[in-house]
Amino acid sequence: MNDVVIIATARTALAKSWTGGFNMTHPVALGGHVVDHALRRAGLEPGTVEDVVFGCANPEGATGINVARQIALAAGCPVEVPAMTVTRLCSSGLQSMAIAAARIAIGEADVVVAGGVESISCVQNEMNRHMLEDPRLRARLPSIYMPMAETADVVAKRYGVSREAQDAYGAQSQQRAAAAREAGRFAAEIVPYDTQMLIQDRRSGEIRRVDVTVAADEGIRPDTTAERIAAIPPVLRGGTVAAGNASQFSDGAAACVMTSARYAERHGLPVLGIWRGFAVAGCAPEEMGMGPVHAVPKLLRHTGKTTSAIDLWELNEAFAAQVLPCQRLLDIPDDRLNVDGGAIAVGHPYGVSGTRMAGHALLEGRRRGARLAVVTMCIGGGQGAAALLEIAA
Amino acid sequence: MSNAVSYEVRAGVACLTLNLPPVNTLDSPLRQSLSACLETAALDPSVEAILISGQGRVFCGGANLAAFETDGLAEPTLHDTINRQIETLGKPVVAAIHGAALGGGLELALSCHYRLWQSGTRLGLPEITLGFMPGAGGTQKLPRAIGLLPALNLILSGRTALIEEYADTALADAVVASGIDFTEAALNFALECSARRPLPRLRDRAVDDPDAAALLQFARRNLGRGRGWPGSAAAIDAIARTVDGTAFDDAMRQEFTVFQDLAQRPEARALRYQFLAKSRVGKDKQAAAASAAPLQRAAVVGAGLMGSGIAFCLARAGLEVNLTDRDPAARERAFASIESDLARLRKQGVLDETAADALRSRIRWTEGSETLAGIDLALEAVAEDYDVKAQLLRWLDQYAPPHALIASNTSSLDLNALALVTRRPARVVGLHFFSPASLMPLVEVVRTAHLAPEALSTALALCRRLGKTPVIAGVCDGFIGNRMIERYTEQACALVEGGITPARIDAALERFGMAMGPFRMLDMVGNDIPWAGRLRRYASQPGIADSIADRLCERGWLGQKTGQGWYRHAPGQKRPQANPELPGLVEAYARERNIAPIDPAIDDATLVQRCVLALVNEGARLLDEGIAERAGDIDVVYTMGYGFPATRGGPMFHADEAGLVNVLRLMRRFAAADVRRAAFWEPAPLLLHSYERNVPLHTSTSGARS
């Protein structure tokens, strides 16, 4: 097996869905932008890419028709460069990296671009709902179609996570992300994007197209406190999950360039880290938030690592309600978990988050002198995914 | 043959002039005449170009809403026949547009090959604000003329705009500066066009916007947040057909089908009715015959929230205002309130700092009788107490110049009697402003038995000058609005007495469309205000049923100002919470008065009708008594002053929509359910009269039964 390395990473800042900077930007353009810049950072010509793998949770509409292929072309890749779109919902951006890594490891390719794209603004409310559910499966296992917020409330109840604890975690995520942004710790990953957005004048109702540069994550609110979050009504009646302790809808794209270690060495490419392994595992759909608790042990088992060997954890903040019990059951120390905040603050464009977190773990890990990082997330329908990265010294 | 369009050939140009005063609406005779003239021009070999213009103030004001139901869509139609005539005419058709081109008037211009505008002309497609959408090509041609987003904004807002905003689009082939003879310029332009071929048609243009899908989706999504009108979503769909590959003629047919469907819906009928009702209020034959006196200086006595709001309105309209109050502490509060009104206008960008300064300088704080020196109008806005007002009116009468009009802002007192405390009863009028006066568009102009036509005329003209809509009301306790609202809240209270929570009743009425449910409203206004009126009535009409509302007032639960009322109002919290002590109070009251509980399974529609039909019955009585002149006056008072949904037309229109048979049936049930107030549900004679003769209630006038 070939060792697989990550050479470069690039992402857009994450914009609030519907009201944010990417509310009229085509997701193909977002994807093209980050692939283009990841390749520049890697110092590779688009023509050298042997495959482009992009993850997307809702690969239809504006992110349909094999969006990865369109993204590759938008990035300037010649028509000879192939591409595939992959979905495993919220882990799609990590799954795309896993596929790229596997292909490189068994020698099928030397240079693959992996990434994720999601435009919740342009896709989610336009979804094709025809026969969205199979009534027979629903009859047998209704939780497979349970809305995500509801699964988080189930987890909160079953694992005893109070509203107060969730709100405190939400505020912490905001404060950590704000501090990271302030210190410029997202600067190396974000590529600003000039675009136009739509706004509506509150008073006149007039819709206007305005020029914007999206250069920073829009969801970060430094003034957030647990008290303020506590005043937000829950999403579901009687529940504890609320805006403020759950991830934000957002739009964006992220990409990374992966090669074989041999190729990187031969071409003198800068190595960010080494892909050490990947695991996925299933669980009960109604507690999908606990996915990491099933995937991480599997990952550690087959990579031969222990929890204590992991220096840095990126555990996707779908909901504070699931982060907290995952942290407890996986025994993750607070000062190694989501050190620069997570999706509650920066936003969660589903298919992007895996690539974003891997990229951030590599850059932040290098800054901290960490050696091993785990990127993990829960997945709708009841799954967890986890990847082990070794940070280049 | 009608001569609503005149025809004259000048130098090979057929000049077709729309001539149907006042605004050349597209009534059937005008369309017939226009269609015939177009044919004449088409067949006359000496005619090389056609020029359509308008006589009078404007090019064309669009459809005549008053005739809409009867002949608005009769042949020859604008959307089909006239459109097609112009398209296939083979000679250039030029629209020369001055003043305004609105609705169908703009669509007529869009059908022409060329459009020449006089500078300063206004244009717009206001259909959406009337519950439907453009139906003669507006949704298809305007995007082709000015672009997708500008057209979307213009059509969805229904606003009017100056042609200058679109001077460099295909909407305007030329804009003629004011000062240049527009008629001559138009004729010359038509001559220039006569040889041009091919003839440009907006239908042949493509809408080119790479972001079309995103724009349309954004517009659709934002409708979901309480914005928009009944026709908004359909208008977006229609506009979307300009970019989705639909063939132009198919899109035109679909536009018309949707237009017809929307126009027949209750919301659109209600909005058209409201539009016409508003155009009829505040008109009086006697007053129209008398001339209004010019007003330059006014005194406002009583500088509370209402007084300072009125002073602001007067100053904004250019009057010099002397403001005063017995309480010296009122001065600071009054100017703070005026400043906050100014700040709002500044923020909205409708007032610049110079204008704000000028407005400020027109309001002067004065003391004693200097307040009344040299004024043309004295307006009192002191406490709602007969003796206080009577004393003040005597003082005003004594010191104000003899010619001055005295206006009282009373909302309920006997103004016939109050007028007689002065030596000028013919010049004492009621001007009942609504709070906050600077924002609320309605004024009840109360006509006493003694009022002179000139004084009424002056009062009506003043309201219009302030930008308010005046509705004339006769003298009774509460005039139109408050007398009816009293009945409405009384029924809402009866529901509470039966065990229904204020929150449920408010929610049901707000879903019905009321801007605010009765209990949120009462807590905002203050429960002591209607209480004072009730106490007066308890004294004068012994034996009438009291109300749970009295018990709240006795406890000092006056609403927001005391932190407790029908709800509990915690400081800093926007949403009122349930008042935890209310159920106990209700239970005790119900036991004492032997009130049967209402089945909690009662549906919301019944809760709503119980309150709204109280408005209907009282409204019908007001017409019978001649307090209100027209049913439409009542409906305008309710939509403009009390947050009644305009898409339901008003209480009287609502009664017809519900069906008078159902109204009477429900009223009998309500009488049986609440024996204490059974007498109230005795149907007003006018209701029975309308039902029996099968005539609508909403077109009734005060003399309907005689």
Strands B442-447 and B428-433: antiparallel
Mean pLDDT is lowest, of A278-292, B65-79, B401-415, for B65-79
Q: Is the dihedral of CA A22, A28, A34, A37 positive or negative?
A: negative
Cβ distance A205 to B218 less than 8 Å, yes or no, reads no
Residue B425 in contact with residue B414, Cβ under 8 Å? Answer: no
pLDDT at A27 over 80: yes
CA–CA separation, A156 and B103 (whole Å): 57
> Out of B156, B218, B348, whose CB is closest to A198?
B218
pLDDT at A237 over 80: yes
Q: Where in chain B is the domain with CATH 3.40.50.720?
A: 295-475
pLDDT at B1 over 70: no
Cβ distance A205 to B219 less than 8 Å, yes or no, reads no
Cβ distance A24 to B222 less than 8 Å, yes or no, reads no
Identify the pLDDT of residue B66. 85
Mean pLDDT for the stretch of residues B269-293: 93
> Out of A23, A203, A204, whose CB is closest to B218?
A23
Interface check for A209 against chain B (CB to CB < 8 A): the answer is: yes
Interface check for A199 against chain B (CB to CB < 8 A): the answer is: no
Q: Which residues of A307-322 are buried (b: 16+ CB within 10 A; e: fewer)?
A: eeebbbbbbbbbbbbb
Cβ distance B211 to A207 less than 8 Å, yes or no, reads no
Residues of B in contact with A24 (CB under 8 A): 211, 214-215, 218
Residues of A in contact with B228 (CB under 8 A): 205
B155-207: pLDDT as tens digits: 999 999 999 999 999 999 999 999 999 999 999 999 999 999 999 999 999 99
Give the domain B482-693 fold. Answer: N-(1-d-carboxylethyl)-l-norvaline Dehydrogenase; domain 2 (1.10.1040)
**Average model confidence (pLDDT) across chain B:** 94
Gap from A26 CA to chain B (nearest CA, Å):
9
- DSSP, res A24: T
B626-680: pLDDT as tens digits: 999 999 999 999 999 999 999 999 999 999 999 999 999 999 999 998 888 899 9
Identify the pLDDT of residue B17. 98
CA–CA separation, B471 and B90 (whole Å): 52
A251-284: pLDDT as tens digits: 999 999 999 999 999 999 999 999 999 999 999 9
**Average model confidence (pLDDT) across chain A:** 97
A336-361: pLDDT as tens digits: 999 999 999 999 999 999 999 999 99
| Cβ pairs A/B, distance under 8 A | 38
Identify the pLDDT of residue B224. 62
Interface check for A213 against chain B (CB to CB < 8 A): the answer is: no
Interface check for A18 against chain B (CB to CB < 8 A): the answer is: yes
Mean pLDDT for the stretch of residues B543-571: 93
> In this structure, what are the phi and psi dihedrals at residue B94, rounded to the nearest 5 degrees?
-110, 130
If phi > 0 it is left, if psi is from -120 to 50 it is alpha, else beta; for residue A285 that is alpha
Give the domain B5-264 fold. Answer: 2-enoyl-CoA Hydratase; Chain A, domain 1 (3.90.226)
Residue A288 in contact with residue A378, Cβ under 8 Å? Answer: yes
State whether residue B341 is helix, strand or coil.
helix
| B107 carries an active-site annotation | yes
Percent of chain A surpassing pLDDT 70: 100
B517-527: pLDDT as tens digits: 999 999 999 99
Q: Where in chain B is the domain with CATH 3.90.226.10?
A: 5-264
Most A CBs within 10 Å, among B129, B165, B217, B574, to test the A interface: B217
| A56 carries an active-site annotation | no
Angle at B656 between CA B650 and CA B661, to 5 degrees: 140
Q: Is the dihedral of CA A340, A343, A347, A350 positive or negative?
A: positive
Q: Where in chain B is the domain with CATH 1.10.1040.50?
A: 482-693
Interface check for A122 against chain B (CB to CB < 8 A): the answer is: yes
Please name every residue paired with A214 in a beta bridge, in sequence order, or none if there are none: A193
CA–CA separation, B472 and B478 (whole Å): 13
CA–CA separation, A50 and A82 (whole Å): 7
Residues of B in contact with A203 (CB under 8 A): 348
Residue located via tokens 């036509």: B453
ipTM: 0.91
Cβ distance A207 to B219 less than 8 Å, yes or no, reads yes
Contacts of range B540-545, beta carbons closer than 8 Å, 24 or more positions apart = B545/B676, B545/B677
Percent of chain B surpassing pLDDT 70: 99
State whether residue A280 is helix, strand or coil.
strand
pLDDT at B118 over 60: yes
> Out of B149, B157, B218, whose CB is closest to A205?
B157
Q: pLDDT class for A393, splitting at 50, 70, 90?
A: confident
Q: pLDDT class for B706, splitting at 50, 70, 90?
A: low
Most B CBs within 10 Å, among A198, A208, A209, to test the B interface: A198
CA–CA separation, A90 and A353 (whole Å): 7
Identify the pLDDT of residue A52. 98
CA–CA separation, A317 and A319 (whole Å): 5
Q: Is B295-475 in CATH node 3.40.50.720?
A: yes
pLDDT at B350 over 90: no
Mean pLDDT for the stretch of residues A310-331: 98
Identify the pLDDT of residue B574. 77
Token pair recorded at residue B373: 């020196």
Q: pLDDT class for B412, splitting at 50, 70, 90?
A: confident
Among the listed residues B472, B499, B495, the one whose alpha carbon sits nearest the alpha carbon of residue B612 = B495
- DSSP, res A248: P
Residue B436 in contact with residue B309, Cβ under 8 Å? Answer: yes
> Out of B153, B159, B221, whose CB is closest to A18?
B221
Cβ distance A207 to B149 less than 8 Å, yes or no, reads yes
Catalytic residue among B8, B48, B127, B192: B127
Better pLDDT: A205 or B514? B514
Gap from B154 CA to chain A (nearest CA, Å):
8
Distances (CA, A) of A322 to A166, A292, A383: 9, 9, 13
Residue B360 in contact with residue B366, Cβ under 8 Å? Answer: no
Other residues' Cβ atoms within 10 Å of the Cβ of residue B36? 16
Cβ distance A200 to B222 less than 8 Å, yes or no, reads yes
CA–CA separation, A245 and A156 (whole Å): 12
Residue A332 in contact with residue A178, Cβ under 8 Å? Answer: no
Mean pLDDT for the stretch of residues B444-470: 96
CA–CA separation, A73 and A83 (whole Å): 9
Residue A345 in contact with residue A178, Cβ under 8 Å? Answer: yes
Other residues' Cβ atoms within 10 Å of the Cβ of residue B585? 17
Token pair recorded at residue B552: 């709240």
